[in-house]
Amino acid sequence: MSNEGKKVKVHYTGTLDDGTKFDSSVDRGEPIEFTCMVGQMIPGFDAAVKDLAVGETKTVHIPAAEAYGEYNEELIQKIPVSQIPNGDQLPVGQTIYMQGPGGQPFPVFVKDITDGVATFDMNHELAGKDLNFEITLVECAD
C-alpha cells in the first residue's frame, strides 16, 4: 500500500557515511510530519517512506543527487564587504541569513573575508554528501 499523498509522521536518524549523526527526530522526541511524495522532503527520503507500513523501520542510503544535490562551485559568491550592511561584522565560519529577491531569507555560509571581499557558500551544508537514514513510520493518515 502506497503512502503517496498521505500525511505521515516518521522518526528518523540521519548519518553521514563516516557515522557522524547530523540530525535526529528521535533525539528531539518529536517525529516529523509531512505529506508523502509532494516535494516537502528530499527525494530519497520521500521514496523511502512511500511504501513503509506503520511501525516498520527501514534503513536507506541516499546518494547526494537524491538528497541535497551535488556540491556546486557556481554557488560560491564573492561580494565586497562595503556593499553589505554591517559587512564588517560578518562571522567567518558561520551561517547567516540573507534576503532573496522575493524577500525570503536563505542561509549562506561565510567562508572567508580577504582584502575587503567576503566569500559566501550558498550550497546546502549537506550538498555533495551521501546520507543514511533509519526511518520508522509512526503514523499515516489519508
Given a cut of 80, is residue 91 above it in pLDDT?
Answer: yes
The C-alpha atoms of residue 92 and residue 129 are separated, in whole angstroms, by: 22
Average pLDDT for residues 66-80, to the nearest whole number? 96
- pLDDT tens profile 50-67: 999 999 999 999 999 999
Q: Return the pLDDT at 142.
A: 84
Q: Is 108 helix (H, G, I), strand (E, B) or coil?
A: strand
**pTM of the model as a whole:** 0.82
* pLDDT the model gives residue 101: 84
Q: What is the pLDDT of residues 21-31, one digit of tens each?
A: 999 999 999 99
Residues 75/116, Cβ–Cβ less than 8 Å: no
One-letter amino acid of 66:
E
Alpha helices in 8-99 (DSSP H): 25-28, 43-50
- Residue 60 has a pLDDT of 98
pLDDT band at residue 77 under the 50/70/90 scheme: very high
Rounded Cα distance, 29 and 19, in Å: 21
